[in-house]
Structure 1
Amino acid sequence: MSTRVLVVEDERSLAKVVASYLQRDGHEADCVFDGLAAVASARRRPPDVIVLDLGLPGLDGIEVCRQVRTFSDCYVIMLTARADEVDKLVGLGVGADDYLTKPFSPRELVARVRAMLRRPRGPGAAEPEPPRVFGDLRVDPQGREVRVAGATVELTRTEFDLLAALTARPRMAFTRRQLIDAVWGADWVGDEHLVDVHIGHLRRKLGDDPAAPRYIRTVRGIGYRMGEG
């Protein structure tokens, strides 16, 4: 079955170029040109991936992402023409999985979409695996469920995949590149500090103080690892 990608970009010529590249790669691609239309389209025909421009008329990309996250866990790639980190961090903070800064190569965008869609989207056919427990934190890789002190923690797909990679090998100190390879794919190219952004969101959702971490520890000069179970 073909996958559906919703391209949300007010620059119509760019939206159509991106859609044509996605279609040539075998995806169904639809274009909308403002934020309200994006939310309506995502509700009407749920996409697998949304390519979402930050600077939209009406609802901006951040608000679109926030609203879409109330009813969909599709992958979101944020596009921004602004180079400052604040916009990137804010965009990812509402549940975007990745970002690209304009100008970008449509081929690179297609590669990012392809890599995302290769990631598992739910419990697979692998051997059943017991939940992984780290103090009050319980990670169920089969059910893709996370609990802290018995309360369910809502994570995006990317946040869960990152936590699953860390908890699968809790004694290992992962570099950013190793986590990118595990979660985004070995062919992902971009700013590796994307990992730090998602780790920050994970810590906040888990109630994990980075100054005195219970779960995710920073390994200075290397990256991250899970705390002792």
Structure 2
Amino acid sequence: MRLLRKTRPTNDPRQRRRILVADDDPSIAQLVKTALRDPRYEVTAVVNGLQAINQFRQTTFDLVILDVMMPYVDGFEACKRIRDTSDVPIIILTSRDGTDDVVHGFELGADDYITKPFKIAELLARVEAILRRVEGRHERLAPPVLDVGEIHIDKPRHLVTLGGRPIALTPMEFELLYFLAANAGQVFDRETLFREVWGYEYVGETNLVDVCVRRLREKIEDEPSKPRRIVTVRGVGYKLADMSE
């Protein structure tokens, strides 16, 4: 089991949130810095994935924003290396919005992605949503430890086991599973999951939900192509089957 460097506690509203941005395009880097020009944030900008990895090893950050196409080490590889040692939230910036890129980003542990060109308001909204989720300002009234069938979830320890066997989940996969488990048997449409799990107040790229569900199924289903735990309710959405029913 790998040991992850946890994100630093950021519940103190007076504490500035440190954000690492890696993009080799100066105009994009400046746009991100402009979007996050706020007393609440302290932005460090680098120009490639290798610099991002080295900077991350030297300083504790609350959020990492990585461009995909960068020299030396691209955003995907940087995401992988950072995720190997930390559960810090990661946003991928990409000019390629194909499903393969989205899936690959999630496989490596990214929490979200934004397609270029993007609006300052969109980036700011997503950054704020992720930080709110991490800071626990919208903690749901659910017990810290949940059991649904063979699935055991220990939220404080960020631990999931299936039949006693540890399951390695990315932070977003964990959040989705915890939410579904806290409401086992209840069906949620994609827009609701997007809002409740990702924390956004508007409906955007809800295909993120489908990608995350697919990845989660690959980890907790005996036959991912014939899921019996995370069930699709045709025309409605998804639910975690209440195995006690």
Structure 2 residue 168 is matched with structure 1 residue 154:
yes
**Contact 2:126–2:200 (CA under 8 A) maintained in structure 1:** no
**Contact 1:129–1:142 (CA under 8 A) maintained in structure 2:** no
- Per the TM alignment, residue 24 of structure 1 is displaced from its structure 2 partner at its CA by 2.3
**Contact 1:8–1:51 (CA under 8 A) maintained in structure 2:** yes
Moved over 6 A (4+): 124-128
Structure 2 residue 236 is matched with structure 1 residue 203:
no
- Per the TM alignment, residue 175 of structure 1 is displaced from its structure 2 partner at its CA by 0.3
3-state SS of paired residue (2:147): strand
Measure, in 2, the Cα distance between the counterparts of 1:78 and 1:178.
Answer: 23
Change (3 A) 1:188 1:153: farther
**Contact 2:151–2:160 (CA under 8 A) maintained in structure 1:** yes
Q: In the TM superposition, what are the counterparts of 1:110-129 in structure 2 within 5 Å?
A: 110-121=124-135, 129=143
Change (3 A) 1:189 1:31: farther
Offset from partner CA, 1:176-225 (integer Å, 9 cap, x none): 01111111124244211110111111111224423332321111111110
Offset from partner CA, 1:25-70 (integer Å, 9 cap, x none): 6211010001110111111112111111011111111111111001
Q: In the TM superposition, what are the counterparts of 1:10-49 in structure 2 within 5 Å?
A: 10-24=24-38, 26-49=40-63
1:89 aligns with one of 80, 103, 115: 103
Measure, in 1, the Cα distance between the counterparts of 2:149 and 2:113.
Answer: 33
3-state SS of paired residue (1:23): coil
- Per the TM alignment, residue 132 of structure 1 is displaced from its structure 2 partner at its CA by 2.2
Measure, in 2, the Cα distance between the counterparts of 1:49 and 1:129.
Answer: 27
**Hey, what does 1:7 align to over in structure 2?**
21
**Hey, what does 1:68 align to over in structure 2?**
82
**Hey, what does 1:220 align to over in structure 2?**
234
Measure, in 1, the Cα distance between the counterparts of 2:68 and 2:121.
Answer: 20
**Contact 2:232–2:238 (CA under 8 A) maintained in structure 1:** yes
3-state SS of paired residue (2:71): coil
What 5-or-longer segments of structure 1 have no aligned partner? none
% identical equivalent positions: 39
**Contact 2:23–2:46 (CA under 8 A) maintained in structure 1:** yes
2:123 aligns with one of 70, 86, 109: 109
- Per the TM alignment, residue 142 of structure 1 is displaced from its structure 2 partner at its CA by 3.8
Amino acid at match of 1:160: F
Measure, in 2, the Cα distance between the counterparts of 1:171 and 1:80.
Answer: 36
**Contact 1:54–1:62 (CA under 8 A) maintained in structure 2:** yes
2:64 aligns with one of 50, 73, 77: 50
Offset from partner CA, 1:104-149 (integer Å, 9 cap, x none): 0122101100011111457x99888363223321112343321112
**Hey, what does 2:181 align to over in structure 1?**
167
What 5-or-longer segments of structure 2 have no aligned partner? 1-14
Offset from partner CA, 1:59-96 (integer Å, 9 cap, x none): 11111111100111111111111132211221122111
3-state SS of paired residue (1:24): coil
Normalised TM-score (structure 1):
0.91
Q: How many residues align?
A: 228
Change (3 A) 1:25 1:114: farther
Normalised TM-score (structure 2):
0.86
Measure, in 2, the Cα distance between the counterparts of 1:87 and 1:127.
Answer: 35
**Contact 1:138–1:148 (CA under 8 A) maintained in structure 2:** yes
**Contact 1:97–1:158 (CA under 8 A) maintained in structure 2:** yes
